[in-house]
Amino acid sequence: MSTPSITEINKDTFWELIAQAKEHCGQDQDTYAQWLVDRLTALGPEQALRYDAIVHGYRELAHKYGLWNAASILCDGCSDDGFMDFQGWLIAQGKEVYMAALKDPDSLADVPAYGGCCFETLSYVGSYAYEKLTGHGSYTVFDHDAYQALVEELRKDIVYGEGIDYPYTWSETAAYLPKLCAKHMTPEELAWHIKCHNDTWNMFSPAVKKARATAQKSRKIKKDRGDTR
């Protein structure tokens, strides 16, 4: 069966390209990234820029604390930079997995956890292709207004799960992400996290403080913890 030909990159053909890369390269991330660079180079600089904008848009839209909790389980802890690499890995799994994870991060329990659940290079292949074609990085032609409009367009297809904006402590994570915890952590490991550093977030971060004060927790947490907010 021949691979469908892609001549331009938009939000639909972006996911088609990701699906093709996944089919051809599987879990080999170096081959996966190079395959994408080669295809984008063949499509030309404009399409490389479109890929670059879309992948960063989807990465931004996945910047949710509940998903970060899931990444902390899968990556055995997850820094700011590590979460960006996790977002690249999540995108590389394809549209179905990506959308399901934003609706329910616990769905990642059914996804093979390979490569440390990090794929930094995926976010940069568009810029690599553009620089290969023009000698300049994609940042040199970045259009902030156009990018923000794109992010809003991409957002229309996403259904976020309730409670995904809240930064959960380890003592709440087992209720919020029961399948992930059961698959990737022993009860003893979870108990150790709760005892040693239950609050994994930077408590001095204004963003974390705001989320803790204003974001709604998952109903699973309210039920188990008796939280009325």
The beta-carbon contacts of 108-116 under 8 Å, at least 24 apart in sequence, are 108/70, 108/74, 108/180, 109/177, 109/179, 109/180, 109/182, 109/183, 109/184, 110/179, 112/27, 113/74, 113/184, 114/27, 115/27, 115/29, 115/89, 116/75
Answer yes or no: is 18 within a domain: yes
Tell me whether residue 104 is in a domain: yes
For residue 116, the model assigns a pLDDT of 94
The span from the CA of 11 to the CA of 91, in Å, is: 13
Question: Per the domain annotation, does 1 fall within a domain?
Answer: no
Instruction: Identify the pLDDT of residue 223.
Output: 53
- Angle between the N-to-C axes of helices 29-43 and 45-61, in degrees from 0 to 180, rounded to the nearest 10: 130
- Compute CA distances 133 → 40, 71, 105, 124, whole Å: 10, 35, 38, 14
Number of structural domains (the chain) is 1
- pTM (predicted TM-score): 0.92
Domain range enclosing 151: 11-225
Q: Kindly state whether residue 81 falls inside one of the protein's structural domains.
A: yes
Q: What is the mean pLDDT of each run of 10 residues along the chain (229 residues)?
A: 77 97 96 98 97 98 96 91 96 98 98 95 96 92 94 97 94 93 92 81 82 90 51
Token pair 């994570």 is found at 173
Task: Please report where in the chains the tokens 């009325």 appear, as a residue.
Answer: 228
Give the pLDDT confidence score for residue 163 in this predicted structure: 94
Domain presence at residue 96: yes
pLDDT at 229: 40
> What is the spatial distance between Cα 22 and Cα 220, in angstroms, rounded to a whole number?
34
In a domain, 2, yes or no: no
In a domain, 106, yes or no: yes
Length of the chain: 229
Q: Let me know if residue 173 belongs to a domain.
A: yes
